[in-house]
Structure 1
Amino acid sequence: MYPKFLKEHASLKDKVYLYLKDEIARGNLKPGERIKEKEIAHQFDISRTPIREALLQLEAEGFVRFLPRRGIIVRELTVKEITDVWQTIGVLEGGAAALAATRMNKRDLSNLERLTQRMEKALDEDNYDEYNRLNLRFHETFLKKSGNEQLYEIIIRLKKRIYEHPVKMVTIPEWERKAFREHLELLKIFKQKDAQKAETYLREVHWNLEENLPFILKSYFQEE
């Protein structure tokens, strides 16, 4: 039997992928732990083909690693990997924001404004799960308006790597408030339709590694 959260109409590969992704995110499959294909095949009464396909997708997204003579293990998320991904997202998302800045219409801007209002409400209520969900929607909204599907997919895949992993993140209200203020400023820039300013702000302010590194270390690794 598959877990209840898996959709019935999903393919076998997708069901295995979602199951393993959930196990990794929950910490049931820990970094360095070997994934046993035979046990999964027996558990779900399926062949190893969809399991291998799911694992290949997880490898492409950076969640598992194929090692000679050791099999497939869950990858550890290191400080170096997080900072590399962080900087990469900054460059790519800055480019996407520049493309989106001149393409967003009044309806798009109103949608972003409503999202910021809901984000503020979530913060005031200490509802950080809701805030993070709205935060992602804000970014996805302007990423889609870039009109570049490849760019959108690459950025989303990178974000999954640092947001959906087995490390237990610690919520830092100060960091969330800082990010929220940056969303308000970015909205102002979008209203000005200033592509260059949008690109620079995303790269040099919102995704600035030096300013965010102390929060990253505390949130991901509980380092002061």
Structure 2
Amino acid sequence: MEAPRYQSLKDHVYNHIVQKIQDGALLPNQKINEAEICKTLDISRTPTREALFQLTNDNLLEYIPRRGFIVKPLDAKKKLDVSQVIGALDALAASLAIDLLGEEHLREMKDIADKIDRDIGRRDFSEYYNDQYRFHEVYTLRCNNPTLIDSIHLLKNSFIRQSYLSEDKEKMGRVLQEVNNEHHQIIDCFRRKDKERLDSLLKYHWRIIDSEML
């Protein structure tokens, strides 16, 4: 079990805002209310501003003079670009982790994939988001490459939630069911230690999410 990282006040604000973006509480082009964040977290303005500028540097927020910070939207081309990079990095993490996963990890992934089937059946896409994130974390966190893990997390934070915003719930359900079928295939690849198939599957896995949502 990995030791938890120490969180500075700036990190606390950073993660708070990222979580709100992921949860859909902060939407693309929405203005960040600095005073509200300071009050909610009981944190002074200095670490809050530091976190906001860090989020801007990491491409999650955009600073607009005289308006402040807004959640940065991703256009179709940017989404496609990011999804391709995530697919390549996720495939690398899986390849590095394939010999480090035990049967307990595969069971955990199977349990999550089964729950995702139920999430989709209920059209509970918020819960789907949380569960699919947990699914990929099982092997990502065990790839033994902290730099790779941080890079994947950074890209996912700005990309995934915005890709799931859709008014067509039935289409969303069909697409995400196809994606979850791939989760089950990913588990099978890990079990058979089929690195070549796992690599191609994960690269396609992330690309299909975005292309179907555009």
TM bucket normalised to smaller: 0.7 to 0.9
Structure 2 partner of 1:135: 132
| Unmatched runs of 5 consecutive residues or more in structure 2 | 1-6
| Counterpart contact for 1:16–1:51, Cα < 8 Å | yes
* 1:10-46 residue CA offsets vs partner (Å, 9 max, x unmatched): 864355445655389424x76175x576x56986786
Task: Establish whether residue 73 from structure 1 lines up as the match of residue 103 from structure 2.
Answer: no
Name whichever of 16-25 and 117-126 sits farther off.
Answer: 16-25
Amino acid at match of 2:90: E
| Counterpart contact for 1:63–1:165, Cα < 8 Å | no
CA-CA distance at 1:87 after TM superposition: 0.6
* 1:24-74 residue CA offsets vs partner (Å, 9 max, x unmatched): 9424x76175x576x56986786532122111221133222245x556431
| Unmatched runs of 5 consecutive residues or more in structure 1 | 1-9, 218-224
| Counterpart contact for 2:179–2:209, Cα < 8 Å | no
| Counterpart contact for 2:166–2:213, Cα < 8 Å | no
Closer, same or farther: CA 42–110 of 1 in aligned 2, 3 Å:
closer
* 1:134-180 residue CA offsets vs partner (Å, 9 max, x unmatched): 21111000111211121112111111101345994444011111101
Closer, same or farther: CA 72–216 of 1 in aligned 2, 3 Å:
same
Structure 2 partner of 1:3: none
- SS of 1:201's equivalent in the other structure is helix
Amino acid at match of 1:160: N
Q: Pick the structure with greater CA Rg.
A: 1
| Counterpart contact for 1:93–1:155, Cα < 8 Å | yes
- SS of 1:73's equivalent in the other structure is strand
Q: Sequence identity, in percent?
A: 27
| Counterpart contact for 2:80–2:211, Cα < 8 Å | no
Amino acid at match of 1:65: E
Alignment length (residue pairs): 201
Task: Establish whether residue 207 from structure 1 lines up as the match of residue 206 from structure 2.
Answer: yes
Find the partner of 2:86 among 89, 109, 115: 89
User: How far apart, CA to CA, are the structure 1 residues paired with 2:90 and 2:16?
Assistant: 29
Structure 2 partner of 1:222: none
- SS of 1:147's equivalent in the other structure is coil
Find the partner of 1:31 among 29, 32, 36: 29
